[in-house]
A = this chain, B = another copy of it.
Amino acid sequence: MRSNRIITRKEQFDNKVLRLNETLFCNANGYIGVRGTLEEGVPAPLSTMRGMYLGGVYETIPMKQAESLYGLVEKKQTMLNVADTQTIYMYVDGEKFALNEGEVLSNERILNMDEGCTVRQITWKSPEGKTVEICIKRVAHLDIPNLFTTEYRVKALDFEGEISFESIHDPDVKNYSDPSDPRLAAESVSYFEIDQPEIKNGISLCRSKTRVSGIQIASAVKHRLIEISDGKLTEGREDAFSNERVGTNAVSAAASLTLPKMGEAVLIKYSAFADSLKEKDPAGKVIDVIEKAAARDIEDLYSTQTMIMSDFWTNAGMEIEGDDELDLAMCFNMYQLFTSSPRQKGVSIAAKGLTGEGYEGHYFWDTEMYALPFFTLTDTRAAKRILSFRYETLNAARDNARLLGHKKGALYPWRTITGEECSGYFPSGTAAYHINGAISNAIISYYLATGDEEYILSEGEEVLLETARLWMDVGNYDRSGRFVINEVTGPDEYTCMVDNNFYTNACAAQAMKWAVKLAREFKDRQQIKDLRKRLDIDDAELDALKQASEKMFLPYDEEYGISPQDDSFLQKPVWDIAATPKDEFPLLLHHHPLELYRYQVCKQADTVLAHFLFPDSADRQTMEKSFRYYEKITTHDSSLSTCVFSMQASRLGLREEAEKYFGDSAKLDLYNRHGNSGDGVHTANMGGAYMAIVYGFAGIRISEEGLSIDPFIPANLKGYSFNFTYRGRHIMLSVKEGTMSLKLLSGDDLEFIHCNEKQRISDKGVIRQWVLEQ
């Protein structure tokens, strides 16, 4: 068994490392996200994305179109950097601590995923030769979503003297803008109206309001100062800190201590955040949170955090044997998924979680298609919360469908925070109607894995029906009587606005089939009766949906024996990936969209994902030929690609490929494989890497026929194990040494299929084993 889940990195004074570390050592708890920026700041010209974000908190900003066309989106939402409570300056006998001054004797950053905290460990000799040991621990508290704490310890190693702190609380912050891009820098604006800060009982309270969206944000900060010398702990006086306003809106709290040699000064900074989307009285809330937190021993808060993490790891229990790097990368991925998952309704998981401003904090299809399975299999309540976001924003999706000319149904926005479309380039934005498919597929998958009828009756079926209706309206029967869907963009954004994208059509068929199936299965339930009345759906409409689903055109190419990505894809010339210089990837940053659209070249898995999700959409031979075909023309410029290739390779028994693609996916952020993790993690890919193990290596399928498990062990691994939940049962699966072991941890008897045979486990807590065929 694993001893610890700890990531340690050297800090370096280099822009790329700094930015990457800001992402990797981010603290988040599903509500607050704090980039791992340095407390003392960085000197120019280093560029830092210094930010604290609150899930779901946004400003509405203009997004002018170069040419105005009817229905094009002209405003968008953007996630906000809401305040700076990270900044703490420390002085050693008046010498200001900075990594570019004096001498840095050691300097490490640590992400402790067992304890849910980050730590900086520095030994620093000041220019005048005084050496201190610095340890800074940060926690975004998982049980108190409004609370973030910093514990700043300084030990005087070789001198007696004064340690001073100057701690900042500043609500007057801006979003990141690249200092090397004058155009962006010029646009860097303050999104807030800010009240004068208040200071009361040692607590500073800042209140701001976004100018357009009108969201009130409150933040409160309180400090404690402790001296430890000769093993004795002395709490600082209540009035150790002098709080003073600096500038117009910021508050600075200063305090100092005189230490003996080997004495230690400990500053504890409590920051609380709340916003008016979730709280009636954000200011009251933060004061309350701060007072309660400060009244508790900090170690008590830490032990709760450790307990929550321990529960999480026990629940998910993932371990990979035989490759420690991969194992740690997977821990990191799951940790990120867990800490980015919202703690309240109305919020979802952004493309970069809460770790950075990339993609402006928008939610995409990624959440449902890639991140959700992890929650569905490890924390069904979290999964349901995430799914609820789409139910909460169903009316916005209906409005969006009307704007696009659809008389019925709902079309979810390609990128959004509140449910309104925020995509400025519709050919690879709004035209990606398959977002609807990701949502309907997630609902169906969640239902199959949990059996949560109540969710289907109260929320799920309404969303399903409305997405099904959208497909009915967007598609039509062609002259051969096939149901076709024209002018949409599939997952592969290197081909836009095409006819009969295989993936989209397959998603649509599934949504239509299930919307009808569940409406009929639960037709006698009052909730369904009410729903059908409210939506005005008669039997004829259900029949029509069913028929369209059955007549759905899924293209097939006789000559190549593959599923073509869309009607015209295979008549285009093939992009010569091998002859393309390395520095031209990702292609979208170096080639005009029109050029890309004209070639057979894929940014990511598209038809391959369809084959994986819908095992009946083609026969095995077609799938294998398709996999081989698309493999050659896919650049994986999207982070959503390799995980899918891995899963499908597993399914097809292409074990070598499955392992290779899995590695690419699993290590993406921790090893910065795409070179852009500094802007934030790739949350969806993290979920994809999880799927590559669970659905891929372990061969877990959950369908109408129930659960089936057909695992294999990749050649370079010794094995792997994880826990998952299935219809109320908690199950441990371990695959190693040629055997599959299963243990029913809790819940009713488990039936499943293995090697086409029914298996049954009734004994709880007993390990059952099966020998795997090679």
Which chain A residues have a beta carbon within 8 Å of chain B's beta carbons? Answer: 63-67, 69-74, 403-405, 423-427, 429-431, 474, 476, 478-479, 484, 486-487, 496-497, 499, 559, 567-568, 570-573, 588-595, 597-598
Contact = CB atoms under 8 A, between A and B. Distances in A.
Given A431-B594, A594-B426, A70 B588 contact: yes
Nearest to A573: B476
B474 A70 contact: no
A595 B66 contact: no
B405 A595 contact: yes
Nearest to A586: B70
B64 A66 contact: yes
A66 B69 contact: no
A593 B476 contact: no
Given A431-B594, A476-B572, 18 more contacts: A65-B65, A65-B66, A65-B424, A66-B66, A66-B425, A69-B425, A70-B589, A70-B590, A70-B591, A71-B591, A71-B592, A405-B592, A478-B571, A486-B598, A487-B597, A496-B497, A497-B594, A497-B597
A267 to B, nearest CB: 43
A10 B404 CA distance: 43
Contacts of A496: 497
22 contacts: A63-B66, A65-B66, A65-B424, A65-B425, A66-B73, A67-B425, A67-B429, A69-B425, A70-B588, A70-B589, A70-B592, A72-B593, A404-B592, A404-B594, A405-B591, A405-B595, A426-B593, A427-B497, A430-B594, A476-B572, A567-B567, A567-B568
A65 B72 CA distance: 12
Given A70-B589, A591-B71, A571 B484 contact: yes
Nearest to A427: B427
Q: Which of A476, A572, A593, A595 has the most CB of B within 10 A?
A: A593
A499 B404 CA distance: 23
Nearest to A480: B571
A496 B487 CA distance: 10
A70 B589 CA distance: 6
Contacts of A424: 65-67
A617 to B, nearest CB: 21
Given A66-B64, A476-B573, A592 B487 contact: no
B405 A71 contact: no
Contact of A479 (B423, B559, B588, B591): B559
Contacts of A590: 70
Contacts of A597: 486-487, 497
Q: How many copies does the complex hold?
A: 2
A69 B593 contact: yes
A571 B499 contact: yes
Contacts of A478: 571
A280 B403 CA distance: 53
Q: Which of A69, A479, A499 has the most CB of B within 10 A?
A: A69
B487 A598 contact: yes
A560 to B, nearest CB: 9
A592 B474 CA distance: 13
B425 A593 contact: no
Nearest to A71: B592
Contacts of A67: 423-425, 429
A64 B425 CA distance: 12
A429 to B, nearest CB: 8
A32 B37 CA distance: 60
A66 B71 CA distance: 14
Contacts of A497: 427, 496-497, 594, 597
Given A427-B427, A476-B572, A499-B568, A403 B592 contact: yes
Contacts of A559: 479
Contacts of A573: 476
A716 to B, nearest CB: 38
Nearest to A485: B598
A3 to B, nearest CB: 46
Given A66-B66, A66-B425, A70-B588, A568 B568 contact: yes
Contact of A404 (B405, B487, B595): B595
A64 B588 CA distance: 18
Nearest to A489: B594
Q: What 6 pairs across the A-B complex have the smallest Cβ distances?
A: A66-B424, A405-B595, A71-B592, A67-B424, A67-B425, A476-B573
B70 A66 contact: no
Nearest to A62: B183
A568 B501 CA distance: 13
Nearest to A482: B571
Contact of A594 (B73, B479, B487, B598): B487
A595 to B, nearest CB: 3
A588 B67 CA distance: 13
A568 B593 CA distance: 21
Contacts of A570: 479
Contacts of A479: 559, 570-571
A479 B570 CA distance: 9
A771 B409 CA distance: 64
A589 B71 CA distance: 9
A423 B405 CA distance: 25
Contacts of A431: 594
A71 B593 CA distance: 8
A571 B559 CA distance: 22
Contacts of A74: 66
Contacts of A588: 69-70
Contacts of A476: 572-573
A568 B70 contact: no
Contacts of A572: 476, 486-487
Contacts of A487: 572, 594, 597-598
Nearest to A593: B69
Contacts of A72: 66, 592-593
Contacts of A64: 64, 66
A588 B65 CA distance: 16
A499 B484 CA distance: 17
Contacts of A430: 594
